[in-house]
Structure 1
């Protein structure tokens, strides 16, 4: 298995350079086709203006969204034209309510989605919608970039931490990450307070360790207590202690009626991550 179709979704001009600089070497190493979707989003909500103004406001905001989509596309094309990999690009204008559907349809037929950090200072409200749509509705694995001074994904992470809690989501992420995990020098399985969720408490992580070892990778298990208020803080500290290049973990929903919104622990993890996070639901 390899990643042959990689999708990235750009909704902000500031994301074009860092996201493409991360995605291009990755796609080159995988021999993959890079699909770039540029979205100009009209973030207004019709109905919140005084009588007679709605149509004019809608036209103005749609023009702004069109300008944004064109600007993102032009910047992306300028960078893509300098590369030898296979790529395609589309620019669309949409309203906020339609973003999830558009992204999900594209993600559904991609092997992997690479996206900018969705939470934190400077991130738009649509960034989290894109991540959630790709994983929950599009059922695609995603690499979420750390942004800022965080580590880029590289082409072959050498040290990978796997956050393991016996869940189906975590196992889905591990299987989606196998092409990368098989090339790593060391996989560290992190288990936090195993008695809370492990059926095999006598030897937590043994089954997963055996599965990964059979792929020819060195595997070690770290069992730690939750010594910090949030699980995400414990994971982030462990990633730093291990000097890891990537984190693999499940994406967990937080909705009684539909699993389409990332839970608080997952959001905290992505907001504070210092390495790329490969996630799947």
Structure 2
């Protein structure tokens, strides 16, 4: 497996430099095609309105979404002009309501090997930022590389990777989808935090995963850590810094689908404090 189709999705012009810059660097390094989806999002959720006012409200919101899409598309094309020649890319722009955005993003993500997205939390980020990540992972079934504010950092292809391992199906899926990166890395640290004393891997936490990765040619080893901080995400974030890692690989965990935001607490906590790119899958 290799990453030959890379997708990034933008809902605001302010993210163009970070997302397009990182995705383009990856695409050129991996000899991949870069697809860019620009979305103008109509955030209006009309519950009721006075007679005659509903159509006006909807038209104003649609006009705003179209203007935002045009602004973002212009920013994307300006960023592409800064890339070295030889980058294979395409840009598609669309206007969608917030409620219909999931299907559009999921459909595009389904045909991507890797989705590269900016972190969904921070100043100026709305509900659509998290919704894009959720749609790509939960419905598009694609691995998502979430970028910190500094982007990819020094190494386009990571040299040191931490894999968060807790024996879950989500963690296994993320590890499998990260194999192209893992096989290229100089060192991969399988990190197990406070393993259960009566679990299936109680005698050798992370051992079977390490064996599997080594058979793929991955330079892997296992670190078993105590839960020395209140949150597992805090322990993991500190370990990423201690290992001087370039990337974190972890499973994505969600709450009930009846909630608007489904990313679980551990996933959200990790994304909020991550200083390196985080590759997640479900």
- Quickly name the TM-score band, shorter chain normalised: over 0.9
Structure 1 100/227 Cα, relative in aligned 2: closer, same or farther at 3 Å? same
State how many pairs are aligned. Answer: 280
Map of 2:89 onto structure 1: 87
User: Contact 1:165–1:197 (CA<8 Å) still a contact in 2?
Assistant: no
Structure 1 residue 19 and structure 2 residue 41: aligned? Answer: no
Structure 1 92/131 Cα, relative in aligned 2: closer, same or farther at 3 Å? same
Structure 1 42/258 Cα, relative in aligned 2: closer, same or farther at 3 Å? closer
CA distance in 2, matches of 1:31, 1:197: 45
- Aligned pairs for 1:194-205 (under 5 A) are 194-195=195-196, 198-205=199-206
Structure 1 residue 160 and structure 2 residue 161: aligned? Answer: yes
Map of 1:119 onto structure 2: 121
CA distance in 1, matches of 2:258, 2:79: 42
Map of 1:279 onto structure 2: 280
Q: TM-score, normalised by structure 2?
A: 0.94
Map of 1:174 onto structure 2: 175
Over aligned residue pairs, what C-alpha RMSD do you find?
1.9
User: 1:155-178 CA distances to partner (integer Å, 9 max, x unpaired)?
Assistant: 210110000000111111111110
Structure 2 unpaired stretches of 5+: none
Structure 1 residue 77 and structure 2 residue 77: aligned? Answer: yes
User: Contact 2:13–2:76 (CA<8 Å) still a contact in 1?
Assistant: no
- Aligned pairs for 1:202-213 (under 5 A) are 202-213=203-214
User: Contact 2:113–2:143 (CA<8 Å) still a contact in 1?
Assistant: yes
Tell me whether 240-249 or 224-233 shows the greater mean CA deviation: 224-233
Structure 1 unpaired stretches of 5+: none
1:256 positional shift: 6.8
CA distance in 2, matches of 1:55, 1:141: 39
Tell me whether 96-105 or 50-59 shows the greater mean CA deviation: 50-59
Map of 1:235 onto structure 2: 236
User: 1:140-168 CA distances to partner (integer Å, 9 max, x unpaired)?
Assistant: 01100112x46538421011000000011
User: Contact 2:130–2:261 (CA<8 Å) still a contact in 1?
Assistant: no
Q: Secondary structure at the match of 1:261?
A: coil
User: 1:73-114 CA distances to partner (integer Å, 9 max, x unpaired)?
Assistant: 111112223432111111000111011111000000111100
Q: Secondary structure at the match of 1:35?
A: strand
Structure 1 223/273 Cα, relative in aligned 2: closer, same or farther at 3 Å? same
Q: TM-score, normalised by structure 1?
A: 0.94
Map of 1:9 onto structure 2: 9
Q: Secondary structure at the match of 2:178?
A: helix
1:261 positional shift: 1.8
Q: Secondary structure at the match of 2:131?
A: helix
Structure 1 207/151 Cα, relative in aligned 2: closer, same or farther at 3 Å? same
Q: Secondary structure at the match of 1:76?
A: helix
Tell me whether 270-279 or 119-128 shows the greater mean CA deviation: 119-128
Structure 1 residue 66 and structure 2 residue 66: aligned? Answer: yes
1:118 positional shift: 0.9
CA distance in 2, matches of 1:71, 1:176: 33
Structure 1 200/251 Cα, relative in aligned 2: closer, same or farther at 3 Å? same
User: Contact 1:156–1:180 (CA<8 Å) still a contact in 2?
Assistant: yes
CA distance in 1, matches of 2:253, 2:198: 15
User: Contact 2:160–2:245 (CA<8 Å) still a contact in 1?
Assistant: yes
